[in-house]
Structure 1
Amino acid sequence: MNKRTRQLFFIIITSLSIAASATEIEPPFGIRHYEIGQAKNFNLPDIDGENFQLDSTRGKWVFLHFWASWCGPCQEEMPTIQRLAETFDDNMLKIVMINTAEDEDTIFTFLSAINVDVNSLMDMDGLVTEVWKPRGLPTTFLINPEGEVKYQAIGGREWGNPIYINFIKQLVSN
């Protein structure tokens, strides 16, 4: 390769790497890049008795959230997830809540008591939780429209905070 060809090659490679990194959105503190490939599909009932399949969410970002009523941080962040649900249209961001190993009465009573109107799936036997392996509760995964897990947040968050709202707005508009 002559000098001019090498320079041109270097410019092209540099431009491509800059363009690729520009499309990567940097998450705020507490959310980490977590690229593990395709999201594992599951089928679970919600508290209204309807069946839900994760694969049905293709084409939109998914906020996949594992929680339990006995979990203190889960209790604290539930109202902020409600605000998140009110901020984003269901066609832009699908909020999928999975209660881990509790019965329907416990889930319904808890959500009613804290005045949260976000539907939740019931993983009563804990099998979906075992497959996804959240490292504690609450744990949230953000899945892109192609069905790939991209981000993870372990522990409670103030999801209604503008830092998180703006981050998710960037994701869904990208």
Structure 2
Amino acid sequence: MRPPCTVLGALVLLSSSVAFATDEPQTLTPMSEDIQAPEFDLQGPAGEPQRLLDHRGKPIILNFWATWCPPCRAEMPSMQRAHEQVADEGIAVIAVNVGEDAETVSRFLAETPVDFPIPLDLDSAVVQSYPVKGLPTTFVIDPSGRLVYSAAGEREWDDPALLDQVRALKVGP
């Protein structure tokens, strides 16, 4: 796991890129407060609508990332593998790109293809509405829309222990 890239003031900016390996276990941190996930209505790189509300009723892995952030780039393939494992189980994976334009994100996706939603938070308004202190930061949202777990820094999202915590949030079959 790598530490998150830092955030300066109200805008998410890269101040340094410290990347190092560690032997810390893959964990999710329970949220200490009862927080409803702020809704968003954004567009993907091809202009397609991306709304959080469209995924209500299922667990959601909601990641905030940027192409300039090495740990963000490094965890994207594991997010794709996680998506491939849980999509048929009714669990959504969404990765909100923070502050970059469609062309920049599309270039990255040409090198690292994913087939889960990538909303573009062009003005960083959405990331500022979440308790994000650095990138990457990921939240797990329960089916009722509450933030239940967070993860600051890079994770291997296809790790069975992480996915089992998300699966435990499912309602019904």
| Same-fold status (TM-score > 0.5) | yes
Displacement after TM superposition at 1:152 (Å): 0.5
Alignment of 1:44-63 (within 5 A): 44-63=42-61
Instruction: Write the mapping of 1:5-154 to structure 2, written as runs, cut at 5 A.
Output: 29-34=26-31, 35-89=33-87, 92-154=90-152
Task: Output the amino acid matched with 2:40.
Answer: F
Conserved 8 A contact 1:30-1:154:
no
Number of paired residues? 147
**1:49–1:148: structure 2 CA closer, same or farther, 3 Å change rule?**
same
Point out the more displaced range, 114-123 or 125-134: 114-123
Q: RMSD in angstroms over aligned alpha carbons?
A: 1.8
Q: Which has more helix, going by share of residues?
A: 1
Whose radius of gyration is greater, 1 or 2? 1
In structure 2, the CA distance between the partners of 1:59 and 1:158, relative to structure 1 (3 Å rule), is same
Identify unmatched segments of 5+ residues in structure 2: 1-24
How far does residue 29 in structure 1 lie from its aligned partner after superposition?
4.7
Q: CA deviation at 1:171?
A: 2.6
Structure 1 residues 70-92: Cα deviation after superposition (integer angstroms, max 9, x where no partner): 11111111000000110012661
Please tell me whether the aligned partners of residues 98 and 120 of structure 1 are also in contact (alpha carbons under 8 angstroms).
yes
SS at match of 1:89: helix
TM-score by length of 1: 0.77
Structure 1, unpaired ranges of 5+: 1-27
Could you tell me how far apart the structure 1 residues matched to 2:106 and 2:69 are? 15
Percent identity of paired positions between Structure 1 and Structure 2: 37
Q: TM-score, normalised to structure 2's length?
A: 0.78
Residue 13 of structure 1 corresponds to none
Report deviation, 1:30: 3.0
Matched residue of 1:64: which SS?
strand
